[in-house]
Amino acid sequence: MTCRHLKSRHQSAVNMVGHALTLENDADAWGGLGAVLTARLSPFERGCMAATVLAAADDEQFWQSVEAAVSVRRAGQPLPLFLDIEGEARWWADLASPAELRCWLMACFVRLPERERTSFLASANRRAAA
């Protein structure tokens, strides 16, 4: 499909959507679509496209798609600690989603003894003020 009024980056995205739809159950084709959409569309355009596709899905397909997308973005549980506890914690935090960070932070915070919680909050306030 060629439309003269489309920008070339949009034409590439449209062509790749067509190829992925034609190949139907070929997981590699759909994976390639993601790469082309990332390269050719802006974050806003991809977000609008994702929201529109999800809105068109039935309830079961909607939740399957959302769960699949969210699971890809999660860091999973932190790995066992070896040598550098703080470095490994920072590494995991760099990979974690905001929801994972909040859950782990809250779980760890409530397990701290009261004195440690107070010390932690004071340290966090100093860093936030800096």
Range of the domain at 29: 8-73
Domain termination residue (choose one: 73, 102, 117): 73
User: Is residue 104 situated within a structural domain?
Assistant: yes
pLDDT digits (tens, 9 = 90+) for 56-115: 999 888 888 888 777 766 666 666 666 777 888 888 888 888 888 899 899 999 999 999
The three-class DSSP label of residue 6 is: coil
Q: Which residue stretches of 1-130 are H helix? A: 8-23, 27-40, 43-56, 59-73, 85-95, 98-111, 114-129
User: Is residue 78 situated within a structural domain?
Assistant: no
In the prediction, which pLDDT does 81 show? 63
pTM of the shown model = 0.51
User: Is residue 15 situated within a structural domain?
Assistant: yes
Are residue 67 and residue 93 in the same domain, yes or no? Answer: no
User: Is residue 108 situated within a structural domain?
Assistant: yes
Structural domains counted in the chain: 2
Q: How far apart are CA 58 and CA 60, in angstroms?
A: 6
User: Is residue 79 situated within a structural domain?
Assistant: no
Query: Cβ neighbours of residue 73 under 8 Å, at least 6 residues apart?
Result: 97
pLDDT digits (tens, 9 = 90+) for 3-18: 678 888 888 888 888 8
